[in-house]
């Protein structure tokens, strides 16, 4: 058994969720980023319609699946002209993130880079492969033996967005190092602060970022958040044809195949932008309510320009803040889960019902114990 991974960090929140549960009106869990609104009807209908699925699905994705992804990138992400052979489904993004270093043959002596404040799966992937993990945002400081670089825009947990110039610097440095640049972009349709409330959040595949070549680049996208499809495990990756061909080959051997009904559900989701706008409007209200309350309580909210979280600090150790929030019956995530550079922040998630967000806001605004 591989024992190189620590216990799942969320377990250490248990004493605080227990404490929150003692609140007279019960606990409000703002710790997990798991969507709670219904999966769009169009998506549910597609899943039902294609539920008769006796044969093995295509690991590479059906032609229709890959075409839907290509069209979505052109329509929603300012990435025209992708070749369907550049597209591959993944069973949610997390499995691909966690296994990518191993798939790439990265191992001891190699470096995997992640953001200074980072979603936890990048470190898991580095650990599984035996590579050294470096948390560094400045491309100039990425070490010479770097083989894989993760960037995440909009970021989880901090909601930071990379602009075209920021992306372009990352691409240039990755190419100089001969490393693969993997960009995790699943919150890209959820921009809040100017200019991202009106402008498209850039993708690493944007020609303004990477020119006319996708060599050495991989973009990951998931429908878990924007389409409330976390339960479907619906995501995809886009990169150079060579890389995708090799990844598909590995995934065929190992049976890492998106089920056919899910592929059909993804096609339905990508073809229906109305539900994305509706869901964004719902989150926008929740965000406004919670942002006002968190600020009134005395937090400084940093970054949080896009995505599903408020990244906030009271200038004290994150665990003290987690405890303070638990006394109000609110469960939040300590920044330390996201690395050593984030120990004074906590993360509030917007993935709670309108009623829970309002109740949390009320408790914060009144400082009720």
Ligand X SMILES: Cc1ncc(COP(=O)(O)O)c(C=O)c1O
Does residue 119 bind ligand X (CB under 6 A)?
Answer: yes
Does residue 92 bind ligand X (CB under 6 A)?
Answer: yes
Say how far residue 22 (Cα) sits from the centre of its chain: 32
Does residue 156 bind ligand X (CB under 6 A)?
Answer: yes
CB 45 within 8 A of CB 261: no
Piece of the chain touching ligand X by CB under 6 A; list 14-22, 91-99, 243-251, 276-284:
91-99
Does residue 222 bind ligand X (CB under 6 A)?
Answer: yes
Instruction: Map tokens 């699905």 to a residue.
Output: 57
| Closer residue to ligand X, CB minimum distance, 33 or 329 | 33
Does residue 230 bind ligand X (CB under 6 A)?
Answer: yes
CB 47 within 8 A of CB 232: yes
| Closer residue to ligand X, CB minimum distance, 31 or 314 | 31
What is the DSSP track for 218-237? EEEEESTTTTT-GGGT-EEE
Does residue 93 bind ligand X (CB under 6 A)?
Answer: yes
> Could you give the string, one character per residue 31-50, with x where binding to ligand X holds by CB under 6 A and - elsewhere?
--x-----------------
Does residue 356 bind ligand X (CB under 6 A)?
Answer: no
CB 247 within 8 A of CB 50: no
Piece of the chain touching ligand X by CB under 6 A; list 89-97, 204-212, 260-268, 357-365:
89-97
| Closer residue to ligand X, CB minimum distance, 161 or 361 | 161
For the chain, what percentages of helix, strand and coil (3-state, to nearest 5) are there?
45, 15, 40
User: Minimum CB separation from ligand X for residue 91, in Å?
Assistant: 8
Cα distances (Å, whole numbers) of residue 71 to 65, 87, 262, 267: 10, 11, 18, 10
Does residue 363 bind ligand X (CB under 6 A)?
Answer: no
| Closer residue to ligand X, CB minimum distance, 155 or 261 | 155
Phi, psi of 317 (to 5 degrees): -55, 140
Does residue 347 bind ligand X (CB under 6 A)?
Answer: no
Q: For the CA atoms of the chain, what is the radius of gyration?
A: 20
Query: Hey, CA dihedral for 195, 200, 206, 211, is it positive or negative?
Result: negative
By CB under 6 A, name the one of 70, 104, 151, 235 that touches ligand X. Answer: 235
User: Minimum CB separation from ligand X for residue 139, in Å?
Assistant: 19
Look at residue 344 and give its three-state secondary structure.
Answer: coil
Spatial distance between the Cα atoms of 288 and 307, rounded to a whole number of angstroms: 13
Does residue 171 bind ligand X (CB under 6 A)?
Answer: no
Q: Which of residues 123-142 bind ligand X (CB under 6 A)?
A: none
Strand 333-334 vs strand 345-349: parallel, antiparallel, or unpaired? Answer: antiparallel
Site residues for ligand X per CB under 6 A: 33, 92-94, 119, 152, 156, 184, 186, 222, 224, 230, 235
């Amino acid at each position: 058994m591989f024992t190189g991974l620590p216990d799942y960090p969320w377990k250490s929140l248990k004493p605080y969720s227990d404490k929150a549960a003692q609140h007279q009106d019960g606990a409000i869990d703002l710790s997990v980023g798991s969507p709670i609104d219904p999966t769009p009807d169009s998506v549910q209908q597609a899943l039902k319609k294609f539920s008769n699925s006796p044969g093995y699905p295509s690991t590479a994705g059906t032609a229709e699946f890959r075409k839907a992804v290509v069209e979505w990138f052109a329509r929603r992400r300012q990435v025209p002209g992708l070749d369907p052979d550049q597209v591959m489904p993944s069973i949610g993004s997390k499995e691909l993130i966690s296994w990518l270093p191993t798939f790439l043959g990265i191992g001891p002596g190699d470096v995997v880079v992640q953001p200074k404040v980072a979603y936890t799966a990048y470190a898991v992937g580095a650990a599984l492969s035996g590579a050294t993990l470096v948390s560094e945002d400045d491309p100039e400081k990425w070490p010479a033996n770097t083989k894989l670089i993760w960037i995440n825009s909009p970021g989880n947990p901090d909601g930071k967005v990379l602009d075209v110039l920021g992306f372009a610097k990352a691409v240039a440095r990755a190419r100089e190092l001969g490393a693969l640049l993997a960009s995790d972009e699943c919150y890209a349709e959820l921009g809040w602060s100017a200019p991202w409330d009106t402008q498209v959040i850039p993708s690493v595949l944007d020609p303004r970022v990477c020119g006319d070549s996708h060599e050495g680049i991989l973009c990951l996208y998931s429908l878990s958040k924007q389409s409330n499809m976390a339960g479907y495990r619906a995501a995809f990756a886009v990169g150079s044809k060579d890389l995708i061909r090799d990844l598909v080959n590995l995934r065929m051997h190992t049976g890492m195949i998106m089920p056919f009904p899910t592929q059909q559900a993804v096609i339905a989701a990508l073809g229906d932008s109305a539900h994305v706008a509706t869901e964004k409007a719902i989150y926008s209200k929740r965000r406004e309510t919670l942002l006002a309350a968190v600020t009134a309580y005395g937090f400084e909210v940093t970054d949080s320009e896009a995505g599903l979280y408020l990244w906030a600090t009271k200038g004290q150790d994150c665990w003290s803040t987690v405890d303070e929030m638990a006394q109000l019956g609110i469960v939040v995530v300590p920044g330390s889960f996201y690395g050593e550079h984030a120990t004074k922040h906590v993360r509030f998630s917007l993935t709670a019902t309108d009623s829970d967000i309002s109740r949390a806001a009320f408790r914060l605004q009144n400082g009720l114990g």
